[in-house]
Structure 1
Amino acid sequence: MARTALLVILLSSLSWALISDENLRAFEKTYAINRPGTNAKLKIKDKSTPYARYLRDLLEAGVNEGKLPIVPTDPNKLEETARKAMTVKGFNYIRGSAGEGATMDADRLGFRQWKIVPRVLRPTNPRNLSVTLFGKTYDSPVIMAPIGVHGIYHPDKEPGTARACAALHVPYTLSTASTSSIEEVAKAIPYSPKWFQLYWPKSDDMTASMLKRAKSNGYEVLVVTLDTWTLGWRPLDIDTANSPFSVGIGNAVGFSDPVLRSRLNSTPEQDPVAASKVWIPEAFPQRSHSWSELATLRKFWSGPIVLKGILSPEDAKRAVQYEMDGIVVSTHGGRQLDGAVGSLEVLPDIVEAVGDKITVMFDSGIRTGTDIIKALALGAKAVFVGRPVVYGLGINGTAGAHSVLAGLLADLDISMGFVGVKDISELNKSFLRRVQYPGDLKANN
């Protein structure tokens, strides 16, 4: 009875749009999210999924109680609201792109080149959004992208975003460039799916230590970012001297590592700037690793390894050759190389090149549920979402991040029905047509 009462309170009185940190923790505790030995699932009386129900919750809260969404549901307004709510340096860092932003624009414009051809008079309920990745089933194809320095966006930091993801059964990917340690985030979501993103260190002992910590704290998948062995040319940061790592911000994963600490003359707590001078050359070694060095990662990590930053079909084939488990087609959100091809532009070619020999996932430019549908229809098995969730965090902390994710999942769920499918696996290229409308406007990046 107590659990039933809490369900009513969470989903009716407060609505998902207004959920607080305290209620997020209660939600996790009550539904034993991914707790070993249980199969607890959110029970809803009608046949609509929890994700689609979020629309009704929002409207009921607005009409009956005068409570509007705590973050804008329009992605363009979301960015503008975040600009006003966040510090200048915080917003500039997450919004910034390489060069003139051509790659970022290409990521968004790619979605405008594909239009959906819906099918009607087909069964679309109940809908199943679940996907299986590396032998594990997830409730949706959405994964939180690895984004660093959450502490400059909101005091809730990475644990806040992670709890928002956990409440919606979305895997959280911890960035090496975090303001929270591997252990802190694991403690915040002990029973929820966690992935770890690696900025591949220069030295093997540092790499081994970080991966050992991640594995022992329950991180299941290793995501290796390949395009950030040094930082890109980012005018918004350069022109405002916005370099958080130089002053010890975003270095928590390194600062808490015993290998790094053994190299320091004073602790990071005593002298973060001095510690940063030791950590930064490790995390961003100014040179790329090689394909042959992937064997070293396999030696240190027993679980799935995913390579993030693949844009070439030839590199995708090499990932198969080197027995990687997955790849992420990604431009790093347009933050590294300006003038690069957009992620969606090359996704079909990469899928065709590797087929089912490796798990292909997608990143860069996702803003709406229909964006997700397009990426999945073009062959991606899952998508990473980044900036919009951080905008929500910056506006309203954990609750804001939760609201953005809940809205994105609701949009995906509802749009699936309009497309004419009831299972995510039904999506394929036959539901899309490639077009180009002169002057077609793009959503924000």
Structure 2
Amino acid sequence: MSFPRAWINEIGQYEGQDVELRGWLDNRRSSGKLHFLQVRDGTGVIQCVMFKGDVSEALFQEADHLPQESAIKVRGSVRADARSPLGFELSVKDLEVVSRAEPDFPIGRKEHGVAFLMEKRHLWLRSSRQRVVMAVRHTIIKAIRDYFDGHGFRLTDAPIFTPAACEGTSTLFEVPYFEMGKAYLTQSGQLYGEAAAMAYGKVYTFGPTFRAEKSKTRRHLTEFWMVEPEVAFMDLDEDMDLAEDFLCFIAQRVLENHAKELASILERDVSKLETVKKPFPRITYDEAVKVLQAAGNPIKWGDDFGGDEETILCSQYDRPVMVHRYPADLKAFYFKHDPTNPKLALGVDVLAPEGYGEIIGGGQREESFDTLVARIEAHQLPREAFEWYLDLRRWGSVPHSGFGLGVERTVAWMCGLHHVRETIPFPRMMERLTP
């Protein structure tokens, strides 16, 4: 029998037709003369019903003993079924076993601990839950690219090997670099984005970044993906406008593509995402400290915000909140200071609601050559490593701004996940380097 191949997520196009599905046996059950085979092909799961009278006795018996995760080709007729989550099922006419799985697939239908599932991450990715999470991740990444590509930004790839720190030197991964000595895995593509912005006006970098931060919180990975737009002639207020519009675009795209499966499979309250609309509340760091103190938090002016503080602040609003003008001492050397109060940096953090905390950090950059030199010295950074960066202030310096958005934290927020380890196919954390 030769049937055209179909994908499960497009099965509705083939109603009343014979097709061939290629995938894996996700589950099965039998009821006398019927086998109900749940088949997964990566785009979805569909029920394939095998009636004893429609296939040979040998094939019917073989299907009754197929182990979970056996690779198969199923051929049959697509028919509508209102009881199916897809609205369709397949009446089986033939089945071919491509590879018979070993019995006792490690991840069964029972509850498993997270530690066990992380050890079997290469197999856990096959679950319906992980399929939805990775589908949302894909949509978010595509939305990021579509947004910037559609708004005239130019993608500029930043290097992964860098000669010096972009932010804190204590969070660098150091690697040997031939006869040149040491290099470091990038913490951010921002400095290179600034160079590109001086060439092309508005750009974005998008790639993996690395932080050797010794943190085991649910918000931290040692390897994660970040998108960083940078725009020449843009100030802090315009930067906040851009971040706001960008986040609303992503949230809308996720809802358009995944609202149903977010609710049904991840049990995500999608109404929480429907409120991600402009305008976002904008409060200063000073105002945020007062809100925290009024809530009983012991924070003092000059302290940075941690997870607890961010959660309290976000609980006041039904959408992301922008906190701007932090104490300059809390920010990196390249932040421009507020001309009206030099103790403050022209920076902004965007905090996601429901306790997900910072998903965007950015601000206006210092455009003055002399000021930047003084900052590099004050932060005890090696000037020779930043001479190329200072060149941007020697020739054609202009006010400019940008931000970075962490993909994994955004996926966690959109999916309603407790920990970022589920948001990337193979997470890297302090205690995990495998699989």
Q: TM-score, normalised by structure 1?
A: 0.25
Task: Give the number of the structure whose residues are more often strand, by fraction.
Answer: 2
Task: Give the number of the structure whose residues are more often helix, by fraction.
Answer: 1
Q: TM-score, normalised by structure 2?
A: 0.25
The structure having more radius of gyration, on CA atoms, is: 2
